[in-house]
Structure 1
Amino acid sequence: MLIIADKRIPAAARKKLSEYGEVVLFKTSGLTYEAISGHPDIFFCTLNGQLIVAPNLPENYKSILRNHQISCMEGEQPMGGKYPETAAYNVVSNDKYLFHNFRYTDSKINELADDLDLIHVNQGYCRCNLLPLKNDHYITSDEGIRRVLENYNLDVLFVDPKDILLPGMKHGFFGGCCGVWENKVFILGNLNHFGDGKKVRTYLQHLHYEIIELYDGPLFDGGSVLFIA
């Protein structure tokens, strides 16, 4: 299994992740602004089992995917230097829904989502802010997303992102600290260092997830941790 993570995540988190698969440390230069330049959830998304990548994803990462016999589809919209050109692939999906600000969604994603119910949110950085879990449960760090999901009668936990590290920005977002693989939720940091950590721990334990805290420190927004089998 490949695990794609921002090259800038703490060394202890990289070491812990390597226990679960081959870690690919991700970085780009000159394509978008520095704070998100290594964020997997800005350049990649998965939808209905299909991996979609920005067409200007650096060639060395496309080669890594090919060498591991991982097929991917290139989107139409290149990664841009600023928001909202950076939001085209930052979607959230499961077997029922696709969540995004659909003013910004790449057209290839829309084509692949024709069997899903579309739920529009104003936040273009949807995956950064929304962690989808089993049985239509969600955690978000965006109040607007919380309100929309509650209007759809979905079970959503809101957490305050003010304690989350994102170098170069005031703070990061909760979804960007996490990855989900099978029955495990991986967190870049330790929930004991997060103001709403007890709420998150209780919520995940109620859903019978195994919580993997990747290092003993504050939550770090690395643009999600992407697992590709």
Structure 2
Amino acid sequence: MFIISHKSTIEFKDFLHKNNFNFIETIDNPNLDPRIADHPDLSIFNLDGKNMVIDKSVFVYYQEKLTNINLIAGENVETKYPYDSLYNIYKGTDFYIHNEFTEKNISTYLKNKNIKHYLIKQGYTRCSLVPMGDKVLTADYGIFKALKDKIDIVLLKEENIPLDGFDNGFLGGTCGFFDDTLIFNGNIEKLNSFDIIRNEANKSGIKLLYPTNSKLLDTGSILFSN
């Protein structure tokens, strides 16, 4: 089950239907900037495939939609950065990447599981990273520099990613990772970094999945729930 923004294109929704993927659409979080209130990764974090933390402001909506996973009502986000990015975390097998402003239920869980914290300055961590499991790709040089000696990270070229109401969005906000598959909400073939992404996916045995007739948009990371 995918969780996608309600601002996702019709072409992307049709693509999911044609590939027999079930999905639910987000609702706006009333505490966020309206331009990004629809983004899944600003209100939801999947802890481990069995437990998911969801901002309590939108908890009831997802409680009715997601019945195969344990849901935990989490802290409210706030409109201003960095308190709007409490859930925007990247988690690998034994590490997670975020700044120091992490939602408390998530932070406690990760600490109790001895998941190592790689501290960075960027609060929009998940948005800034293209996920490939324990390998990540990013166009953010600050993140690359902070993590290059700690994890498997690849530097991408700068991209112009449309984001509603903003000059530019994040490539990580166009995609999601599940079952060794990296899915994008639009065509990535004209990206400056397309060859890098394709080569890294091939090296890691990862399948790239995307509609060729849909424009790539930052509508928040595509999340996956069992």
Please say whether Structure 1 and Structure 2 have the same fold, judged by a TM-score greater than 0.5.
yes
State how far apart, in whole Å, the 2-side matches of 1:48 and 1:24 are: 19
Does 2:50 match 1:52?
no
Cα root mean square deviation, aligned: 1.7
What TM-score do you get using the length of structure 2 for normalisation? 0.91
Structural mapping, 1:22-37, within 5 Å = 22-28=22-28, 30-37=30-37
Deviation at 1:132, TM superposition (A): 3.1
**Cα pair 2:159 2:171 within 8 Å, conserved:** no
AA of the residue aligned to 1:145:
I
Structural mapping, 1:126-205, within 5 Å = 126-134=125-133, 136-152=134-150, 154-205=151-202
**Cα pair 2:55 2:76 within 8 Å, conserved:** yes
**Cα pair 1:179 1:185 within 8 Å, conserved:** yes
AA of the residue aligned to 2:200:
Y
State how far apart, in whole Å, the 1-side matches of 2:59 and 2:52 are: 15
2:116 matched residue in structure 1? 117
SS at match of 2:166: coil
**Cα pair 2:169 2:218 within 8 Å, conserved:** yes
2:65 matched residue in structure 1? 64
AA of the residue aligned to 2:99:
N
State how far apart, in whole Å, the 2-side matches of 1:113 and 1:157 are: 25
AA of the residue aligned to 2:12:
A
**Structure 2 gap ranges (5+):** none
Does 2:5 match 1:6?
yes
State how far apart, in whole Å, the 2-side matches of 1:24 and 1:126 are: 23
Number of equivalences: 222
1:226 matched residue in structure 2? 223
Larger relative helix fraction: 1
**Cα pair 2:53 2:72 within 8 Å, conserved:** yes
Deviation at 1:5, TM superposition (A): 0.4
* 4+ long deviations beyond 6 Å: none
AA of the residue aligned to 1:26:
T
Deviation at 1:3, TM superposition (A): 1.1
* 1:208–1:140 distance in 2 versus 1, CA, 3 Å: same
* 1:61–1:48 distance in 2 versus 1, CA, 3 Å: closer
State how far apart, in whole Å, the 2-side matches of 1:205 and 1:218 are: 23
* 1:17–1:81 distance in 2 versus 1, CA, 3 Å: same
**Cα pair 1:47 1:94 within 8 Å, conserved:** no
AA of the residue aligned to 2:223:
L
Deviation at 1:189, TM superposition (A): 1.5
**Cα pair 1:163 1:218 within 8 Å, conserved:** no
SS at match of 2:145: helix
